[in-house]
Amino acid sequence: MTAPAVSGAVFGTVGALAAFPLRLAAREVERQHAQLRRGLTRRTTHVVFGRTLLAKAGLTKNGDAGIERRVAAARGAGQTLLSENGFLRRLGLMGAPEASSLSRQSLIEQSRLSGADLDMLSLFDAFEHDAEPYSFRDLILARKYAGLVAGGATWGAIARSVHRSGPVASLTAKSLNVGSQHGRPDAIYLEGGQSELDGQLLFDLGTAGAEGDDTLEELFAAAEAAEDGGDHEGAAALYQRCLAIDPSDAIAAFNRANCLRAGGHAADAAHDYISAIKLDPAFVEAWFNLAGLMSEQGREASARRHLQKAIALDKTYADPVFNLARLEFDAGNLLEARRLWVRYLELDAESEWAGVATKGVQFVDMQLARTAG
């Protein structure tokens, strides 16, 4: 049974899945008593990186660097990273490859492929296994990939090319070459450059995706890209189109609220934060951001209630603790402000805000000492 390993997990997707529509995945995840959402929140436990990210990144300058930043952010948040195949295996929809015994470090040492490239190629299913232990076939592939990197290829170019060739294990018996000598540094060639890897690797669930699924995934990805690029008005319009297709998407509502807020549309932003909360009452970031919006409008009582809700939902979330401490300090509630700053320092003792909290505690202590004197 796979359900015990999946039950209670919150899966978030970064990029559309190449293997099948998200709605089919969401249905299976829900059947196994877990959740699947587009995008990431603090509640996300597992991050699935869709292989369509590769194609999109290949069309933009420094696109692979953008993927690397998102991977680093998810890893830094302590979330479990999964490739598409790893996700399928976690759900029990795809069998594990042959028995394996090679550790990550052993593969690095024997292939001379860097750890960073190994991790990214694994995350985009360029090996039989998506994580250690790896197989002997994976070692053969790693050695080939190391040779390609030495010839000037990037992990992104390799990953994009190998998925044009069918099962990656089939490449173990083939000669791979960087295509830069043919004017195609973004492609990998077979047989000394006589033919480029072609075709497409898809996992067939026996059900074709509906056109609406593709449209929604494309819209959400375009909205994220517009938001990242600072086009808040355009992003808000795209997120609205996402919501028109799927009104139950709390993250789309939340993201739209952030864009509206950045664009100076406070009332509309508040409406969408509330919508996100109604769709997902445990959406702690929505409570926190709504509190920030209320504070900006001078509605301290509302801000205080929303911050308290965020803290109750996620006791490890430091930001609402800090903001509530600041509200209490401004209101003259020094003892409560001190208590909250101390709690903040228990959660975050290293950041710039930790220095502010430390000074806040010291200031309150001095005030109390003067009063006592």
Coil, strand or helix: which one is 94?
coil
Angle between helical axes of 300-313 and 318-330 (0-180°, round to 10): 150
Lowest mean pLDDT among 89-93, 146-150, 181-185, 350-354: 181-185
Average confidence (pLDDT) over 138-142: 94
CA distance readout (Å), 310 to 28, 72, 121, 270 = 30, 25, 37, 16
In which band, very low, low, confident or very high, does the pLDDT at 188 lie, cut at 50, 70 and 90? Answer: low
Q: For the chain, how long is the longest CA-to-CA vector?
A: 88
In which band, very low, low, confident or very high, does the pLDDT at 191 lie, cut at 50, 70 and 90? Answer: low
Higher pLDDT, 59 or 321: 321
Asked if omega into 133 is within 30° of 0 (cis), the reply is yes
Rounded to whole angstroms, the Cα distance separating 190 from 210 reads 34
Per-residue confidence (pLDDT) for residue 3, from 0 to 100: 39
Domain boundaries, the chain: 3-91, 104-196, 212-280, 304-373
Average confidence (pLDDT) over 173-189: 57
Residue matched to tokens 């509640």: 43
pLDDT at 161 over 50: yes
CATH topology of domain 212-280: 1.25.40
Lowest mean pLDDT among 52-61, 77-86, 231-240: 52-61
CA distance readout (Å), 173 to 110, 146, 270, 275 = 18, 16, 58, 54
Per-residue confidence (pLDDT) for residue 185, from 0 to 100: 52
Strand partners, 47: 12, 81
pLDDT at 221 over 80: yes
Average confidence (pLDDT) over 141-170: 86
Domains 212-280 and 304-373 equal at CATH topology level:
yes
Rounded to whole angstroms, the Cα distance separating 139 from 113 reads 10
Return the ∠ at Cα 116 (arms to 113 and 122), rounded to 5°: 80
Q: Are the C-beta atoms of 256 and 243 separated by less than 8 Å?
A: yes
Is CATH 3.40.190.10 correct for 3-91?
A: no
Q: Are strands 188-190 and 176-178 parallel, antiparallel or unpaired?
A: antiparallel
Average confidence (pLDDT) over 319-348: 97
Per-residue confidence (pLDDT) for residue 189, from 0 to 100: 58
Rounded to whole angstroms, the Cα distance separating 353 from 357 reads 6
Taking the alpha carbons of 30, 48, 167, 100 in that order, is the dihedral positive or negative? negative
Per-residue confidence (pLDDT) for residue 184, from 0 to 100: 53
* Paired tokens of 135: 């197989």
Q: Are the C-beta atoms of 142 and 115 separated by less than 8 Å?
A: no
Rounded to whole angstroms, the Cα distance separating 291 from 96 reads 46
Average confidence (pLDDT) over 4-28: 86
Residue 235 burial (C-beta neighbours within 10 Å; 0-12, 13-18, 19+)? buried
Rounded to whole angstroms, the Cα distance separating 149 from 151 reads 5
**Considering the entire predicted model, what is its pTM?**
0.84
pLDDT at 40 over 90: yes
Q: Class for domain 304-373, per CATH?
A: mainly alpha
- Give per-residue pLDDT as tens, 240-271: 999 999 999 999 999 999 999 999 999 999 99
Q: Quick one: how many helices (H) and strands (E) in the chain?
A: 18, 7
Q: Are the C-beta atoms of 129 and 122 separated by less than 8 Å?
A: yes
Per-residue confidence (pLDDT) for residue 203, from 0 to 100: 30
